[in-house]
Structure 1
Amino acid sequence: MAFPLRILGLADIFKDGKCTICRTIFTFATKGTAVLILLFFGLILSKYAWTESIRCTSPTVSRDFLDSLCWALSTYSVKDAFGKQVGRDVIYPGIENTRGRTDLLHYTYYQWVPIMLLSQAILFYTPRWLWKSWEGGKIHALMMDLDIGICSETEKRIKKKLMIDYLWENFRYHNWWAYKYYFCEVLACINVIGQMFLMNRFFDGAFLTFGIRVIEFMESDQEDRIDPLILVFPKMTKCTFYKFGVSGNVEMHDAICILPLNVVNEKIYVFLWFWFIILSLLTFITIVYRFIIILSPRMRVYLLRMRYRLIKKDDIDLLVRKSKMGDWFLFYMLGENVDSLIFRDVIHELAHKLRNHQFQDCSRGFKDIHQEP
């Protein structure tokens, strides 16, 4: 993943700065998706600048006036006209005589697409913003530029001692810090699922099944299928305008409207549907994974052994057995940021201090027993 991103110049987007403070899936579900939606937002704004948002035509009404009116109000299609043959029964799917018809599909979302995309980007970034606030730069402060590994032995020794002293003095006091991160992961999952229902409301109940209908359309026979993209993102719609006639009677005027922006909108939301489905699955799996880690010390041992093979197994077993889940999470994140050899030395020294502490406790207990009268 890193290589193609580096080629495209997008690698820095998914970095956390000088250090990694969260896992990859969380980054994609928050920062990555926010950046992606902001790119779509910029694309839509550029289309607004270079392309007409709507173009309507009627022989009796000024085009500029009609464009503004139909954009500000809404346009619509006829439901029954989607199944009729183009060129024989209708001029375009959904376009038919509407006098006295009630089966109309009204479209108003196109007015709000830029605002909706911007709001979605903010919502996606919120869990990451919360975690950055709660994390407070702890990992970056503990790193002390030890991710490079190329420094003088004196400097390296001093920085390792500072890191070990902090871990020892704050041993078993990181649970609340880690649970804040886990809460942000849960929030990211809720956000993805919630935004799918938000989009479903935005598109009048069409978004949740949108991708499924697109797949069914691709697999169906060409003669029988109706493109679901046309149902949700029509390029041609109708608009009705009422005005007073010469005699004072109210006259109804129909107009045909072209929505060129829907060519872009449909591509954006088809992609977002599949992206949201993938994110929902990945974030849900992440939550299950977190629950297993919280409940299973054996799993925490296994993950540290698999990820950091330079560390002795006995050291990992001792640290996980004596520490709490929050300490494990801090160890894991430090290992992601610190040079592997330096991290190995830190864990070894910390395990050594734990063994000495255990031995002193046992010796003190043994003396107390023999000193009893």
Structure 2
Amino acid sequence: MDRNEKENENMIEAILFYTPRWLWKSWEGGKIHALMMDLDVGVCSEIEKKQKKKLMIDYLWENLRYHNWWAYKYYFCELLSLINVIGQMFLMNRFFDGAFLMFGFEVIAFINSDQEDRIDPMIQIFPRMTKCTFYKFGVSGDMEKHDAMCILPLNVVNEKIYIFLWFWFIILAILTFFTVIYRIIIIFSPRMRVYLLRMRYRLVRKDAIDLIVRRSKMGDWFLFYMLGENVDSVIFRDVLQELANKLARHNFHHIPGFKGEIQEA
């Protein structure tokens, strides 16, 4: 692989790493930021706070059960990130003519081996010394060839960079894999969604969370979870409680022990 091919491959890798983020930013469309309405700090007048909470509740109520596709796009970006990391390792392996996939394991084995039996894999991939051939004009005016040994100090830096990249790719692949498994469990397990909301938002009544998850879909749960991470906890508690009350009133019931403070217009 010549230098131009390597530069092109590095550019492709950079673009591929950025693609999942770019896709999600395009698909998300600023929904979370728009729904936050500066309620992440909770420092505003009571009248303004009630108005903003009512707007958020109205949106959640009117668009309940319509967020699945939005959430699946996010999950797709996470799956794409996993495919991307694994694909990057194979691209890097091609870049190093098949020496990258096992590079980290070989370095670990080298560190743990005896001094007499050590074969440094880093030197094999990034040689620190090589033979150089120089051509120059001699005294007679003819071209003369000179062979010498050249030191490549930049390869000392390169080997450390790619050792770090190898371990970084492995860590990213493992974490992203477990994230994808976690998402699959969330998609197929309403009980897990209830449990996560209860653990994350302890200020919200358990029966309110049960009702919300039971009457909504997975995409709604994902939106609730994302909003809860970006909105003041007390404000978000009121939002979920009032949403649960609206769901209960829709079924001619009411959650005991809570009186909604936000009145409909």
Question: Same fold, TM exceeding 0.5?
Answer: yes
Of 109, 125, 128, which aligns to 1:235?
128
State the match for 1:274 in structure 2: 167
Q: Does 1:170 align with 2:67?
A: no
Q: Of the candidates 212, 217, 239, which is equivalent to residue 105 of structure 2?
A: 212
SS of the equivalent of 2:130 reads strand
For the 8 Å contact 2:40–2:231, the answer to whether it is kept is: yes
1:148 has 2:41 as partner = yes
After superposition, residues 6-45 of structure 1 pair within 5 angstroms as none
Q: Is the 8 A contact 2:110 2:121 kept in 1?
A: yes
Out of 120-129 and 152-161, give the one that drifted further. Answer: 120-129
Contact kept in structure 2, 1:109 and 1:202, CA below 8 Å: no
Correspondence 1:257-268 to 2 at 5 A: 257-268=150-161
Between the aligned partners of 1:264 and 1:329, the Cα distance in structure 2 is 43
Matched, 1:308 2:196: no
CA distance in 2: counterparts of 1:281 and 1:148, whole angstroms: 35
Aligned AA (2:164): F
Q: 5 Å matches for 1:1-373?
A: 116-238=9-131, 254-359=147-252
The residue that corresponds to 2:258 in the other structure is none
* TM-score of the superposed pair, with normalisation by structure 1: 0.62
1:310-336 CA distance string (max 9 Å, x none): 000001000101100000000000000
The CA distance in 2 between the partners of 1:206 and 1:343, in whole Å, is 52
What is the rounded CA distance, in whole Å, between the counterparts of 1:138 and 1:290 in structure 2?
21
Displacement of 1:258 after TM fit? 3.0
Match of 1:10 in 2: none
Letter aligned with residue 210 of structure 2: D
User: SS state of the match for residue 267, structure 1?
Assistant: helix
Distance in 1 (CA, whole Å) between partners of 2:77 and 2:193 is 20
Contact 1:127–1:185, Cα closer than 8 Å, also in 2? yes
Once the two structures are TM-superposed, the CA of residue 119 in structure 1 deviates from its matched residue by 4.0
- Equivalent position amino acid for 2:178 in 1: I
Return the offset for 1:206: 0.5
The alignment partner of 2:149 has SS state of strand
Percent of aligned positions with the same letter in both sequences? 78
Structure 2: how far apart are the matches of 1:218 and 1:283?
A: 28
- Amino acid of the residue matched to residue 268 of structure 1? I
Q: Number of aligned pairs?
A: 246
Q: CA RMSD in A?
A: 2.3
Q: CA separation in 1, counterparts of 2:33 and 2:2?
A: 44
Kindly state the Cα deviation for residue 116 of structure 1 after the two structures are TM-superposed. 4.9
Look up the equivalent residue of 1:235 and give its one-letter code.
R
CA distance in 1, matches of 2:198, 2:228: 12
> Aligned letter for 1:123?
L
